[in-house]
Amino acid sequence: MQPCDLYHNLEDQLAELLPESDSALSPLGSHGYLTALAVNQTATSKDALSQQLSGEETSEPTLELLAAQLLESIEKSLYRGEKPELPCSLHLGNEPDDSELREWAAAFFEVIMDNPDRWHPENHQEEIARLMLPIQLAAGVLEPTDEQAVLKNRKLSKQILQEMPNVLQELYLLYQEQIDQ
C-alpha cells in the first residue's frame, strides 16, 4: 500500500485521535511531519511521535501505532526509490496561507527547525539550499518579498512546487549518503 493510500485510510482515525488544540498537528500536518522524519531518516520513538503530533505530554497508544505505520510506509517508499506522493495538491492557490500544501509543508519545516544541524550538513550546504526552495515556498518561510515575486509568476511557482516529490527523493538520497559515510 502506498503511503498516501495508507494516509487516506488512516486520516479519519488520526482526526479522532489528534486533539483540537493549537499545539496539535492536523492529520495533513502529521503527514508532512512524518515525511520530514522519513526524508532525513531521523530516528524517533513511537512515544515521541505521538507526543509531537498531539502536542500533549502523554502519548496515546493508538496514535503511536498509526504514526509508526505511516512513518514506516513513507520510509519504505523512499527506500524503494519511489517519489513521495503528497496527500494534497501541489498548488498554493489564491490564498497560500489557507492551502493544504502550506499546512503540510509547515509541519515538514517544523522538523527542520527542530534540528537544523541535521538538515544542513556542512559538505552539502549549497545543494540542500537549492533543494529546499520548493519546501520553503510551500511552507511560507521565504522572505516575503521573495515569496511574493515567485507567487506572482504563476508558471514559475507551479514549476517549483511540482518539483516537490523529486526534491524529497533527492534529499532522502543525500541524507542516506551522509549516513553511509
Taking all residues of the chain, what is their mean pLDDT, rounded to a whole number?
Answer: 87
- Give yes or no for a contact between 49 and 56, defined as CB atoms under 8 angstroms apart: no
For residues 91-114, give the mean pLDDT: 93
The full set of domain ranges for the chain reads 3-79, 96-180
And the C-alpha cell for 88?
A: 494534497
Q: If we measure between CA atoms, which residue out of 34, 39, 49 comes closest to residue 178?
A: 39
Confidence at residue 88, expressed as pLDDT on a 0 to 100 scale: 94
And the C-alpha cell for 62?
A: 493508538
pLDDT band, residue 163 (cuts 50/70/90): very high
Whether pLDDT at 13 is above 80: no
pTM over 0.85, yes/no: yes
C-alpha 143/C-alpha 117 separation (Å) is 21
**What values do phi and psi take at 25, rounded to 5?**
-85, 150
Confidence at residue 3, expressed as pLDDT on a 0 to 100 scale: 63
Separation of first and last alpha carbons in the chain: 31
C-alpha 67/C-alpha 177 separation (Å) is 26
Q: Which of 2-6, 67-71, 108-112, 116-120 has the lowest mean pLDDT?
A: 2-6
Question: 36-82: per-residue pLDDT in tens?
Answer: 999 998 878 777 777 787 777 767 788 888 888 899 999 999 999 99
C-alpha 106/C-alpha 104 separation (Å) is 6
DSSP 14: H
C-alpha 7/C-alpha 12 separation (Å) is 9
pLDDT band, residue 147 (cuts 50/70/90): confident
Confidence at residue 35, expressed as pLDDT on a 0 to 100 scale: 95
Confidence at residue 80, expressed as pLDDT on a 0 to 100 scale: 95
